[in-house]
Structure 1
Amino acid sequence: MPPSRYLAFDYLDRRTPAPEPPLTLEEVRRELGWALIAAERQTHAEADERN
């Protein structure tokens, strides 16, 4: 006799790992290298001001 569907759902819920929360905006920016882009632009802007 197969288990009830409720027992099957409970089993699958226990076996399925919880999804990870989405990345924060800061983590996305870090992974995309946005800080590096901003730093590079700042360096160029400072160089332009000196010239």
Structure 2
Amino acid sequence: MSETTQTPRRLAHDYLARRTLAPEPLPTREEVRCELGWALIVAERQAQAERDERN
């Protein structure tokens, strides 16, 4: 499996700063994770674990 890294804090900070200025309420943690692609990391790790179980 390829190595994954945590999203830089600056990227998360910039995203939340943009969202703070928006008229809508702040995003949930799940929305932030989705925007930053963290859900893709979890999905890849689950797929890798399933592949490992089959081998």
Q: Structure 2 vs 1, CA of residues 35 and 48 (structure 1 numbering), >3 Å: closer, same or farther?
A: same
RMSD of aligned alpha carbons: 1.9
Q: Structure 2 vs 1, CA of residues 22 and 46 (structure 1 numbering), >3 Å: closer, same or farther?
A: same
Q: Which has the higher contact order (CA 8 A, sep 6+)?
A: 2
User: Computing the radius of gyration over CA atoms, which structure comes out larger, 1 or 2?
Assistant: 1
Where do 4+ consecutive residues of structure 1 move more than 2 Å?
Answer: 18-21
Runs of at least 5 residues in structure 2 that lack an aligned partner in the other structure: 1-20
Q: Structure 2 vs 1, CA of residues 49 and 23 (structure 1 numbering), >3 Å: closer, same or farther?
A: same
In the superposition, the TM-score normalised over structure 1's length comes to 0.54
- Number of residues of Structure 1 aligned to a counterpart in Structure 2: 34
In the superposition, the TM-score normalised over structure 2's length comes to 0.51
